[in-house]
Amino acid sequence: MLCLTFVLFVFSFALSTVSKQTPFDLDTSLPYFTSLNTNYEQNFFELWESYVNGYNHPLVLQLKKHDKFYHFDYMSEKNIFINNTVETLPDDLFDEIRHEILSIKTRADLTKFKQNAIYILVRNYELDSLCKSILNFLSRVPHPYFDFIIMNDKPFDPFFINQITKFIINSNNPTTKKWAERLITVKFGLIKAEIWDPLEHKEDYTTIPMSVIESRWEQQEEQGILYGGSRSYRNMCRFQSMNFYNHPSLDGYKYTMRMEPGVEYLCNFDPFEELRDGVKYAFTLSLVEYPETIPSLFTTYLTYKRDEYYRNRELFEFINDGIGGYNLCHFWTNFEVISLDWVRSEEYTRFMEHFDKTAGFYMERWGDAPLRTLAVVELLRIDEVQWLDIGYLHPPFVSCPGDLKTRTERQCTCEPYDFENDILGISLVYMNEDGFEKDDEEEEEEEENNDNFDFDRITINMHDYSCLKKWWRYGEGKSFL
């Protein structure tokens, strides 16, 4: 496993050699300093202790406190922005950057570059699959020197932090490592409990009795609705829909690309350089939602009182079923490039609050993908939305450029789109029971030990689940042809 390299933290408990003073300066007398925060501080104390004693941490560590949000920044000692801003960088250093990243020609270009970030919501136990995705991303993007913003509703443990920063910053390629050390900051953010789970303070969120909410979860679980009984999944969907962009770790950024553990990028691409001017939302996969998860979502949407400006919704036909209802099409948000100025806007906030006040995230099982899609349809123009044909795998679905020239230029490792049979090319993906792609040894072992081996080759007709044809018709058109 990529990330399970054992790292031994050696702690010295001798009072003469270890100071109990930490750089965090956390005030435990504050009324919101909970036991969770205390555990979080202890984790960081141990990490800091290993750092000051020289154990595996040649890094600069900071911790910042923002009204119950905690985040800290991890960067190499060689990072050029420790003591500089874009404006104060020496000319010779800026010239080096220009020669490495050809899209950067002016300091304004560098400022724009530094306003892009990779955003990840993750749990500690997803370390291995996240490391795989990060390595894959770093190998696919020509200049992957973006900051990484990694969030969790539970404290990150020091081993997780240590491994993730190693994988992002310490590349085996000397050139890549040089610029990663100079340019990348990795930020770890803790999400405060009342934002992650509003039911912790239910009286401030909804008047619906908790017994009624839990009864609905039990019913949905019995009905076999995906994540129907999960409170944490609902918390995640709500956070991704209407909160992640307000975390202080994202202050100062303009665009984020969302990454999830276990995904794979199948072609070379640049998530930010490829955006057209003025684009506020970009996606790569568009699927059909499970109808049983959102029975009242579209009805709630229709009751939204919109401003006159938005009455001419150019994108409405993308979600229109032709008889006044919702066709269930949505942008799959596990990969999205999004303008933070847009989602932080008053119009977006008002739109999301309209849905949230119904408690539909908890009474039903609304996902963030259809919510974001409705916001895009309601608030953006066609020219502000872009389909990125990049080659992307999030088991069990995948996209792959249909154009041979594109696949060749992007050095894709995926199957093409079969126009004759209308098949999306994922027939060579082998899935294991955990929903991840099997490695060669797994495949060979299963073939040898099972006479009835099912290759698990997934061949899915595009009409069965994909809304891309709908997008090509009512969105920006078949730009890849």
CA–CA gap between residue 325 and residue 294 (Å, rounded): 13
Inter-residue contact 101 to 113 (CB < 8 Å): yes
DSSP state of 53: T
Both structure tokens of 479: 């730009």
- Cα gap 321→319, rounded to integer Å: 6
Residue 420 three-state SS: coil
Q: Check: CB of residue 71 under 8 Å from CB of residue 190.
A: yes
Q: Are 306 and 354 in contact (CB under 8 A)?
A: no
In the DSSP assignment, the letter for residue 119 is: E
**How far, in Å, CA of 65 to CA of 383, rounded?**
39
What is the C-alpha to C-alpha distance for residues 204 and 288, in angstroms, rounded to an integer? 33
Closest by Cα among 7, 144, 199, 170 to 78: 170
Nearest alpha carbon to residue 402 among 428, 426, 425: 425
Compute the residue count for the chain: 481
Q: Is residue 283 within 8 Å of residue 388, measured between CB atoms?
A: yes
CA distances from 50 to 10, 13, 26, 188 (A): 7, 11, 19, 18
Residues 6 or more apart in contact with residue 335 via CB below 8 angstroms: 257, 258, 259, 260, 263, 283, 284, 285, 392, 394
The H or E element spanning position 423 is strand 423-424
Six token digits for residue 385: 């939305």
Q: Which residue among 181, 336, 364, 384 is the active-site one?
A: 336
Angle (deg, nearest 10), helices 368-379 and 346-356 = 130
| Known catalytic membership, residue 336 | yes
Q: Is the peptide bond before 396 cis (omega within 30 degrees of 0)?
A: yes
For residue 303, give both structure tokens: 């009751």
The Cβ of residue 321 has, within 10 Å, a number of other Cβ atoms equal to: 11
> Greatest CA separation found in the chain?
77
| Strand positions, DSSP E, 309-419 | 329-331, 336-339, 385-387, 392-394, 397-399
Residues with a known catalytic role: 336
